[in-house]
Structure 1
Amino acid sequence: MPLNIVHDGNGLPRIILTEPTGSSAEVLLYGGQVVSWKNERREELLFMSSKAIWKPPKAIRGGIPVCFPQFGNLGSLEQHGFARNRLWSLDNDPSPLPPTNNQSSVDLILKSAEEDLKTWPRSFELRLRISLSAGKLTLIPRIRNTDSKAFSFTFALSNYLSVSDISEVRVEGLETLDYFDNLARRERFTEQADAITFDGEVNRVYLDTPTKIAMIDHEKKRTFVLRKDGMPDAVVWNPWDKKTKTVPDLGVEDYKTMLCVDSAAIETPIVLKPFEEWKGRQELSTVSSSYCSGQLDPRKVLHGFH
């Protein structure tokens, strides 16, 4: 079945993925970015900024941007690397993954271009498979070193999740872990709370995280479950009101309905020898949260899915 590619109002080619229960996802070739994921009731699960800039060379604020070859702001490279504001291509040879030629999966590829070799002189192929199934969105990033020498990189899939009210959200699965606090000059702390809740700006990189993290949205009675492999770190970010006012492509009220929980490899950069390939994987799914004395039992959420 051929992929459904449409050109949106901004002139950006957009791939529409659908599956039989009625959920959908939309992926741009620009940035290889998922910009929409709707459940079978057509409710949008990803956050998109009300002031997102849909024109190259800007990155698009929302959805699931791909941060490569760096997360953060280091050296001469642009913030979070260049992958999220380059035009990707359809990948006709996703080997060794089997081809999926169907309407609920797409394979994309980004190769090093002349302009990027000037700022990051390493030759690579970055592949991304995006698959949609009932209640689940799966992303499989792969990076191959096509250079003659080894290189290292950091990486993240930034998941902008749509929530009803950030002050009513809990993140579970990161208790007792160490994290770098980007609001305190990347100082290292240990998480003391039994869940992360939000009443101000949060910008942290949690280290050595479990393969499963739950984001519980009490008001929507909905829980996002993030499962990941190959990306040991997790970034938790909400800019709150003051910081939001300094971000030109975020609306002033946007922070209330967004939560970023990223799958990432930041603390220990990934090193690839020539012709080696790194592979990561993340699955986002949603489950209905049931109440039990006003709180969800986190053990059931984190251990009830296999």
Structure 2
Amino acid sequence: MGHYAAIWDHKAAIEVTKDWNGIDQVVLRNPRGASVRVSLHGGQVTSWRNDRGEELLFTSSKAIFKPPKAMRGGIPICFPQFGNCGSLEQHGFARNKIWSIDENPPPLHPNDSLGKSLVDLLLKPSDEDLKCWPRCFEFRLRVSLAADGKLTLISRIRNINGKPFHFSFAYHTYLSVSDISEVRIEGLETLDYLDNLCQRKRFTEQGDAITFESEVDRVYLSSPNVIAVLDHERKRTYVIRKEGLPGLVWNPWEKKAKAMLDFGDDEYKQMLCVDGAIIEKPITLKPGEEWTGRLELGVVPSSFCDEG
């Protein structure tokens, strides 16, 4: 790892270890004891812990930790599609490929590296990928952990030659919550969404917050840069900041949870997906163009927010 040492802040800590399948994973730490784990299988964040060692991301106890299956939990990267359409596997192939550590990452804004423990990953299409999706791309992913425990993911996707291509994308973020019935989302009020449970009909969000009493599967057509997920029982709030990424909110509830092989029957109570996602209006990249999608996750005490 000495080769990479020059790009880390001197207080940052980074370690490369093997996971249960012998695949490399990168562990990031900050001086206060928070940590992030990123698997090179899928470029997937599999763990994000605060300075007390509490896990902030949900992973199913029934998750299948074996390629080519993507792990149920953490933050899978969905590219070049979200959902199940066409000839590609559900949610695209990026989450099932082995990524590499990027030895020559392009420079980003100083705020995206200063005082942070970080790793840059790279995915390029294999011959197999080009057969099923014949587009030449470079996908660079930076995962960083700040001194205050915030987790940031920055994706840069470039069309490196050939013709224009289109893609969908998602940071499919599984948050760990105490009890879904005690959780509320603020920041999506008055926004339009497509309801996947009602033949994708368009609705406008009513009320001052989203609460959960049954299955939810909504694609928001736009969303603010900041969303708050309040967990009353744990007295903490996830603050989600994103750029250029509308959203998706999903909880399978009881019936669908029981139908998923890699999901515990009652685990829907302990999770909530709030994604930064490009679904309805795919991105088009001309040759040489690059798209950037940024997601920042932080946690604050719930007293920070009005719980009225």
**Distance in 1, Cα, partners of 2:19 & 2:95:** 18
What secondary structure sits across from 1:296 in the alignment? coil
Deviation string 1:233-276 (CA, Å, 9 cap, x unpaired) is 11000000100011111011111100000001112111100011
1:178 corresponds in structure 2 to 192
2:280 pairs, out of 261, 264, 267, with: 267
**Distance in 1, Cα, partners of 2:84 & 2:115:** 37
Deviation string 1:81-114 (CA, Å, 9 cap, x unpaired) is 0000100000111113279699810000100111
Give the CA deviation at 1:10.
2.7
1:18-57 equivalent positions in 2, closer than 5 A: 18-57=29-68
Give the CA deviation at 1:12.
2.3
Say whether 1:193 aligns with 2:207: yes
Give the CA deviation at 1:39.
0.2
Give the direction of change, closer, same or farther, for the CA distance of 1:258–1:97 in structure 2 (3 Å limit).
Answer: same
Comparing 165-174 with 182-191, greater Cα deviation is found at 182-191
Say whether 1:97 aligns with 2:111: no
Give the direction of change, closer, same or farther, for the CA distance of 1:250–1:83 in structure 2 (3 Å limit).
Answer: same
What secondary structure sits across from 1:245 in the alignment? helix
What secondary structure sits across from 2:278 in the alignment? strand
RMSD: 1.7
CA contact (8 A) 1:4 1:103 kept: no
TM score, norm. by length of structure 2: 0.92
**Distance in 1, Cα, partners of 2:242 & 2:153:** 10
Give the direction of change, closer, same or farther, for the CA distance of 1:228–1:103 in structure 2 (3 Å limit).
Answer: closer
1:164 corresponds in structure 2 to 178
Comparing 202-211 with 95-104, greater Cα deviation is found at 95-104
Matched AA of 2:234: K
**Distance in 1, Cα, partners of 2:126 & 2:200:** 32
**Distance in 1, Cα, partners of 2:218 & 2:21:** 33
Give the direction of change, closer, same or farther, for the CA distance of 1:101–1:189 in structure 2 (3 Å limit).
Answer: closer
What secondary structure sits across from 1:242 in the alignment? helix
**Distance in 2, Cα, partners of 1:82 & 1:44:** 27
Matched AA of 1:17: L
1:209 corresponds in structure 2 to 223
**Distance in 2, Cα, partners of 1:196 & 1:66:** 25
- Give structure 1 stretches of 5+ with no counterpart: 298-306
2:293 pairs, out of 280, 290, 295, with: 280
Matched AA of 2:15: N
- Give structure 2 stretches of 5+ with no counterpart: 6-13
Comparing 214-223 with 188-197, greater Cα deviation is found at 188-197
How many percent identity over aligned positions? 63
Say whether 1:240 aligns with 2:253: yes
1:280-299 equivalent positions in 2, closer than 5 A: 280-290=293-303, 296=307
What secondary structure sits across from 1:143 in the alignment? strand
2:24 corresponds in structure 1 to 13
Q: Report the number of matched residues.
A: 294
2:132 pairs, out of 110, 119, 139, with: 119
Comparing 72-81 with 283-292, greater Cα deviation is found at 283-292
Give runs of ≥4 in structure 1 deviating > 3 Å.
98-103
Say whether 1:73 aligns with 2:84: yes
TM score, norm. by length of structure 1: 0.92
Give the CA deviation at 1:286.
0.3
**Distance in 2, Cα, partners of 1:120 & 1:247:** 28
Matched AA of 2:209: A
1:150-161 equivalent positions in 2, closer than 5 A: 150-161=164-175
What secondary structure sits across from 2:161 in the alignment? coil
Give the CA deviation at 1:151.
0.4
**Distance in 1, Cα, partners of 2:20 & 2:139:** 27
1:257 pairs, out of 270, 287, 296, with: 270
